[in-house]
Structure 1
């Protein structure tokens, strides 16, 4: 596992170095100037899936879309990008504290799952077609889960745990600008591959408007899936949860 992580770090570093070398070698024939995007945003997420914390029964959560704005207890999101004609280096930071009622089953009659989820992704992308980028990245994931359950025996059970890991990811994205003002962005990634999580994937779709050279506004939808399992007994943690919802982004271009 350590060797695999080092290999991912090496590949990502090589991509960044190649981006800089490419800029230096082609500065006389291409526009090598770097542009910068600072994009704070807010996501209104829900959760769906299954989790098990330590030795309490596994629980399921299923989002109610009619209450989509009620589950985010706290959130902070910031996207940064440095790009030139051929290359982009990105950073995406997400912190969410979510609360969701558990779905009753034959062991659990009621309860609530509270999740603190921190994601920090660093990636490098290369333009491979006029409107298509591809690249690789690393995503640091830290999940703190707290389950407060009532069992069918009327017994109350509570457990909490925090786990942190790193997922390598493969990314593709397409960015379109229509009539110099209208924006359409599509992005997808997949990763984990048993190095961090068993599997993780993400899809983002956004549409927006460029009000000026400085400011843009995007509305979109994001879906993040994480399937992670580790430990045993009182240290066991399984987290097979999808987090999804609409988002609004304010972009500042420099």
Structure 2
């Protein structure tokens, strides 16, 4: 039979246990509150600015020209040979280097997964093209080696490329991100063609036929990349992108008029062809870059799952505005490596002006760069500023069209324009600091927001010569008409636009900062509408006792102005001036 323990032994054991274990105090009791999760050593969440450099090459490497004869007054059947010799294709690889910058936001919604959105702008100026030469015999003429001989130059340019993309990434280690990306693509593309033809055995070639056009196009992009965090704020990336902006066709109502001496030297030969020049703008990009995360946008908290808030509240403190005291002045001449995309009109005649920075180097008649400078002065929250740009450029271009307003009726028209343009832009205004913040997690991080208003003066002197030619034909009506005229126009435009804008500056070190400013203006008081944007990086330093500031950025300025003269004809300009900006200035 099992015996129960003696009750006295149980009581004795309990008493001994109480003697061995000291009594617990309230302060020694464990806390029921969960231990706080420490902030991660690195998180991908935050707003970032970036810069990159890369190389692009074409996926569709050719340009195709197809011609059809409209008018044939040769009496010897030159039309088919003339059109066939003006048809063909040539290689036109859009290969070259590009550079730019971007803005984005990442959200690390899990310890291993990151989602984000990014927008970027690349200054390209990438161009490609080639020539073709065709000899097509005329079967209607025997024994004289009669043939249509055509030489053509076909070119295309990618002036700029911009994308707005989503990103989805996986972090195999805390500091390494592997991601896929895709979204919209935008680009400025231009296309040009020139044809020269001779009807052998004549020694007299026709005048050169030209056509060119610029267009802003939208498409899509897709790619992937790797990004590695070098520090909590700085990361390096390498990325591949494919872009597709679609196809563009230049309708060239040339070669017209074509005049070549006949074999017997009796009568000139007149021909008119319509030519379509088409190409596709798609390609591949490999680029490397750096991204800098703005410290005030990085959250300090992290969930147990390793995620960070989508839009974490930055740990900011509002600072007082600077107090009035001594004036601070900066004087900075700068180089604006600009391109121009748009059109100009003089007395009702319009010609395109689509020039990259390379075109400015090769096509200007005077000094190939612009003269520009900016001055700023501030005292406390108040400031004044002034900016001046002067440039001159000579350019030529053509607009060529083929229309069929009714069945069987074809109308071909071409306009070859030569432009000499001088432009001066002066600006002056005042600014006021609206707010200033300090990021508590970094002693040297300060962000400020200014508002500014001023006046922007424009003067554009334009000389335009237009050579126009046209042809119309109808087989049913028996209609064949050719015509040509030459116009020379000149004029000066000047106006003043009111402008209002905002400027944000983020100082992440005592001598380094990012700046972004943008404004809108015109409002019908001067131009119909204008806008400007500048974004860049600045570094303060001293050299031989001089206080200097070096900066690099990108500037875009858009204008839409027109007026009607006393003769009821239009004068105006509608264009975007854009390009990288480099500056080295003095501080006082």
Q: Same fold (TM over 0.5)?
A: yes
Asked if residue 199 in structure 1 is aligned to residue 529 in structure 2, the reply is: yes
Over the aligned positions, Cα root-mean-square deviation in angstroms equals 2.2
Q: Which residue of 2 aligns with 1:169?
A: 499
Asked if residue 138 in structure 1 is aligned to residue 455 in structure 2, the reply is: yes
Question: Which of 77-86 and 179-188 deviates more?
Answer: 179-188
Q: Residue 100 and residue 186 in structure 1: after superposition, are their counterparts in 2 closer, same or farther (change >3 A)?
A: farther
Asked if residue 214 in structure 1 is aligned to residue 509 in structure 2, the reply is: no
Q: State how far apart, in whole Å, the 2-side matches of 1:37 and 1:166 are.
A: 25
Q: State how far apart, in whole Å, the 2-side matches of 1:102 and 1:132 are.
A: 43
Of residues 54, 57, 61 in structure 1, which corresponds to 2:353? Answer: 61
Structure with the bigger percentage of helix: 1
TM-score by length of 1: 0.80
Q: State how far apart, in whole Å, the 2-side matches of 1:175 and 1:99 are.
A: 37
**What do the CA deviations read for 1:205-229 (whole angstroms, capped 9, x no partner)?**
1213212371011112111111111
Q: State how far apart, in whole Å, the 2-side matches of 1:53 and 1:90 are.
A: 33
Q: Which residue of 1 aligns with 2:571?
A: 237
Q: CA deviation at 1:103?
A: 4.4
Q: Select the structure with the greater relative contact order (CA < 8 A; seq sep ≥ 6).
A: 1
Q: Which residue of 1 aligns with 2:325?
A: 32
Q: CA deviation at 1:201?
A: 0.8
Give the total of aligned pairs. Answer: 225
Q: CA deviation at 1:242?
A: 1.2
Q: State how far apart, in whole Å, the 2-side matches of 1:70 and 1:103 are.
A: 18
Asked if residue 185 in structure 1 is aligned to residue 515 in structure 2, the reply is: yes
TM-score by length of 2: 0.36
Q: State how far apart, in whole Å, the 2-side matches of 1:226 and 1:162 are.
A: 16
The residue matched to 2:370 in structure 1 has which SS? Answer: strand
**What do the CA deviations read for 1:189-211 (whole angstroms, capped 9, x no partner)?**
11111011111111111213212
The residue matched to 1:152 in structure 2 has which SS? Answer: strand
Q: Which residue of 2 aligns with 1:89?
A: 384
Of residues 409, 430, 442 in structure 2, which corresponds to 1:124? Answer: 430
Q: Residue 145 and residue 53 in structure 1: after superposition, are their counterparts in 2 closer, same or farther (change >3 A)?
A: same
User: Unaligned 5+ residue runs, structure 1?
Assistant: 1-28
User: Unaligned 5+ residue runs, structure 2?
Assistant: 1-321, 402-412, 437-447, 471-483
Q: Residue 163 and residue 109 in structure 1: after superposition, are their counterparts in 2 closer, same or farther (change >3 A)?
A: closer
**What do the CA deviations read for 1:17-47 (whole angstroms, capped 9, x no partner)?**
xxxxxxxxxxxx9242210010111112221
